[in-house]
Amino acid sequence: MSPEALLNKQHLRLTRAKVLKRVLLMTIGAALVSVGLEIFLVPNKIIDGGIVGVSIIFSHLFNIPLGIFLTLLNLPFLFLGYKQIGKTFAVSTLFAVLVMSVGTSLLHPVDPITIDPLLAAVFGGIILGVGVGLVIRSGGSLDGTEIVAIMANKKSPFSVGEIVMFINVFILSSAGFVFGWNQAMYSLIAYYIAYKMIDITIEGFDESKSVWIISDNHKEIGDTIMSRLGRGVTYLNGEGAFTGDSKRVIFCVINRLEEAKLKSIVEELDPAAFLAVGNIHDVKGGRFKKKNIH
C-alpha cells in the first residue's frame, strides 16, 4: 500500500471515529433529556421551554404520548434547519429528537424518583441541561425555537437570545393556565437551572462566535464557508513572529449552531490549520447577517 493510500485510510478511520463519537454523545444527551422529562418533570407537571414545553402541555391536554408531539412538532423546524443551516445539522437534530421521543415512551411507565416539585425542578433541570448541552456540542439540537429565533433575528432588532427568551416566557406562562401557577413557577426554576447547565456543559457556548483560521488553503476554506454556511469572511494579512513568514488569516462570525459544521469544513480541507473560536457578547453592523444559500 502506498504512503498516500495509507494516509487516506488513516484519515477515513479518524473520520469514522469522530462520527461515532458524535453519535454516541448525541444518544447519551437525548437519553438524559428523556430521563429528566419522564422521571422528574412530567410526573410533577413541570415543563421546559420551547417545543418540549409545548409538547408536554399538548400531551396533558389530549392524553397522547409525549414522544409523538416531540417528533411531530419538531418536523417543520427540521425542514427550516435544513434550509438555513445545512443537511448535517438537520440529520443530527432528527436523530437526537427520535432518540428523545423513543426514550420518553420507554420511560413513561417508570415511577418518578420524587414527587417533591422543588426537587424535581432542580434535578430535572440539571439532567435536562446536561443532555441538551451534549446534543448541541455534537452539532444537533432538540428544540426548533432557536431556528425560528435565528430566522426572526434577520427581520427584527432583537437578538437570537432575546427572541428565544420571549418565546419561552410565553410558553412557561401558559403552564400556569394548564397546571396551576405553582407548577408554572417550578417550571421557571427548572428552565433557569437547565439553561445554566447547558452553558456549563458546553463551556460558555454562546449565541455568536468569532472564528480565526490560519491555513495555506485559506482561499478554499473561505469559499467553502461562504457557500456552505452562507457567512461572509474577511481575509487579513499576518506574519509569523518566529518564522517571519507571511500568512493569510480568515476571520468570520457564526452562530452557535454552525460551529460544528465550520469545524468539519476546516478539518476536511486542512487538518493542520490553526483554528480559534471565541464567544462574542454582541454583534452589530457589518455583514454578519447570513446570506441565502441556493
Higher-pLDDT residue of 67 and 203 is 67
Q: Are 187 and 175 in contact (CB under 8 A)?
A: yes
- Per-residue pLDDT of 182-198, as tens digits, reads 999 999 999 999 988 88
- Regarding whether 148 and 48 lie in a shared domain, the answer is yes
- Regarding whether 260 and 236 lie in a shared domain, the answer is yes
Q: Angle at CA 236, nearest 5°, toward 233 and 237? A: 155
Which of 270, 281, 178, 164 lies closest to 224, judged by CA? 270
287 found inside a domain: no
Which of 189, 175, 185 lies closest to 58, judged by CA? 175
List C-alpha distances in Å: 9 to 20, 211, 268: 17, 30, 14
The pLDDT, as a whole number, for residue 196 is 85
Higher-pLDDT residue of 8 and 106 is 106
Cα 148 from Cα 155, distance rounded (Å):
12
Instruction: Give the rounded distance of the alpha carbon of 20 from its chain centre.
Output: 18
- Of 201, 226, 251, the one marking the end of a domain is 201
Higher-pLDDT residue of 12 and 259 is 259
**16 confidence band (pLDDT: 50, 70, 90):** confident
Which conformational region is residue 290 in: left (phi greater than 0), alpha (psi within -120 to 50 degrees), or beta? beta
Which of 224, 291, 217 lies closest to 264, judged by CA? 224
**287 confidence band (pLDDT: 50, 70, 90):** low
- Per-residue pLDDT of 107-153, as tens digits, reads 999 999 999 999 999 999 999 999 988 988 888 888 877 677 766 76
Q: How many other C-beta atoms can be found within 10 angstroms of the C-beta atom of residue 161?
A: 14
Domain of 253, CATH number, reads: 3.30.70.120
Q: Angle at CA 286, nearest 5°, toward 283 and 290? A: 80
- Regarding whether 156 and 39 lie in a shared domain, the answer is yes
The 8-class DSSP code of residue 112 comes to P
- Of 146, 176, 201, the one marking the end of a domain is 201
List C-alpha distances in Å: 218 to 126, 210, 211, 214, 270: 41, 16, 13, 7, 9
The pLDDT, as a whole number, for residue 294 is 47
Highest mean pLDDT out of 70-79, 101-110, 129-138: 101-110
Average pLDDT, the chain: 84
Cα 202 from Cα 206, distance rounded (Å):
9
Contacts of residue 57, defined as CB under 8 A and 6 or more positions apart, other chains included, come to: 47, 171, 174, 175, 178
Any bridge partners for residue 208, and if so which?
255, 280
- Regarding whether 252 and 151 lie in a shared domain, the answer is no
List C-alpha distances in Å: 46 to 71, 123, 145: 20, 12, 19
Q: Which grid cell sits at 269?
A: 480541507
Q: What is the mean pLDDT of residues 220-236?
A: 90
143 found inside a domain: yes
Q: Are 292 and 242 in contact (CB under 8 A)?
A: no
- Regarding whether 167 and 76 lie in a shared domain, the answer is yes
SS3 250: strand
Range of the structural domain that residue 223 is part of? 208-280
Please give the tally of structural domains in the chain.
2
Whether residue 163 has pLDDT greater than 80 = no
Instruction: Give the rounded distance of the alpha carbon of 161 from its chain centre.
Output: 13
- Of 201, 226, 241, the one marking the end of a domain is 201
Whether residue 37 has pLDDT greater than 70 = yes
- Regarding whether 130 and 61 lie in a shared domain, the answer is yes
SS3 212: strand
- Regarding whether 187 and 263 lie in a shared domain, the answer is no
The pLDDT, as a whole number, for residue 181 is 92
291 found inside a domain: no
**260 confidence band (pLDDT: 50, 70, 90):** confident
Q: What is the mean pLDDT of residues 249-259?
A: 87
